Structure 1
């Protein structure tokens, strides 16, 4: 196991504003957040990060855990000081793990379309094997069905297409290693140790991380709230950027 190298985008927003770090969903890249960042940058200095082998981050060659992925994010951002955090799916799992492993760095966290445990372990191992044998291209149809609410692709066809291309362009081995990290991820018994304020947000049509996953987070942490993002499934920042930005601005302005 090893701590992966994480690449950050250049910060957007006033250099003196509070820092806000944005995390991705598996198979996507920082483009997931591009329609939300301008609204968030009104009040914050905003940057985003890519998973190993996705977007601008280098490919991974060794296995890693979600703990180690969180350590990689912490190492990449540590010199910039404490920050607010928002992450989607695997990026949300990283946010919760940052709260456990690096509580002095994270002021508050929005955990979007995610959970303290996600999917079935064998399912993640099966997906990793599929990608190693057939590449991430073999996931396009199933991912489109998981990611998007019924009208999302028609409402935002260009961005939806770019996200699916990001999946196709992801490094196969890195994607498989992310799947295996998720296979071993389960912090349900540790939620009570997370002391930072946590917002758990879920998309109305999300079947990967439905309402009960967000409710479990909000109940388990020391200071948690839950909110629904309508007209979205598993990628609310891309599907419903205005609603997602409004939810996040309300949450982070309380810091």
Structure 2
């Protein structure tokens, strides 16, 4: 296992403002957050990181774990921050809270869980990507990612997100799948002491309400919020509601 290289992208805010770090989901990039970032940037300095081989981050060739991703974020940011992450980005958020509690002031875990999917399913997807590329999962991803009306309501951004999936490095995507296959922090949730907000989308079949309840009830100080009319990508589907939930949570700090 190796700690991968990650790239940070500035999404606005004053240089002397408190820092918010945003993590994206498997197959997407920091564009997932671009309609939420302006609301956050009014009060915070906003940075987003991309997964290996996604967006601006370099491709990976060696295997890594979710813990390695968390260490990479901590090393790259290097100062205390508020955090929000979607799906795999949310898994990294919980792992950051466990491994780097001195850096993470508060963590919002969006459309994610303390464990996600079945290991066999992740290994099967990794093999599919290596054989057929990320293009082979575009249709299935669109069905998982978006609520019934999301694509029709936001066609331009939805299309860009699906293009980001197509553009993701195949091996890096496969390695992310294998990291998720081994990810399970359920036994350690009680060790997380900072406030945690668990956010789920009303139509999310990947990380439904039960995943957020498990997080919020497992950590020392947890709360939950539902985003209506969203599935697995609330920041893209419902940016106003997502930004409001995050601002309410961060401003309690």
| Shorter-chain TM band | over 0.9
| Aligned-pair CA distance for 1:11 | 5.2
Tell me which residue corresponds to 2:154. 156
Aligned-residue CA RMSD in angstroms?
A: 0.5
Task: Tell me which residue corresponds to 2:39.
Answer: 39
CA distance in 2, matches of 1:15, 1:72: 22
Partner residue in 1 for 2:171: 173
Q: TM-score, normalised by structure 1?
A: 0.99
- Aligned to 1:119, the other structure's residue is in SS state coil
Q: What is the distance in 1 between the residues matched to 2:94 and 2:80?
A: 15
Mind listing any 5+ residue stretches in structure 2 that lack a counterpart? none
Residue of structure 2 aligned with 1:106, choices 91, 104, 107? 104
Would you say how many aligned residue pairs link Structure 1 and Structure 2?
253
Match of 1:214 in 2: 212
Structure 1 segments unaligned to the other structure (5+ residues) = none
**Which position in structure 1 is the counterpart of 2:198?**
200
Measured after TM superposition, the shift of residue 94 of structure 1 is 0.3
Moved over 6 A (4+): none
More displaced stretch, 93-102 vs 8-17:
8-17
Contact 2:11 2:34 in 1 (8 A): no
Separation (CA, whole Å) in 2 of partners of 1:23 and 1:44: 16
How far apart are 1:10 and its partner, in Å? 2.4
Structure 1 equivalent of residue 4 of structure 2:
4
TM-score scaled by structure 2?
Answer: 0.99
Cα-to-partner distance string for 1:103-131 (whole Å, 9 max, x where unaligned): 00000000000000000000000000000
Alpha-carbon distance in 1 for matches of 2:189, 2:247: 24
Secondary structure of the residue aligned to 2:10 is coil
**Aligned-pair CA distance for 1:20:** 0.1
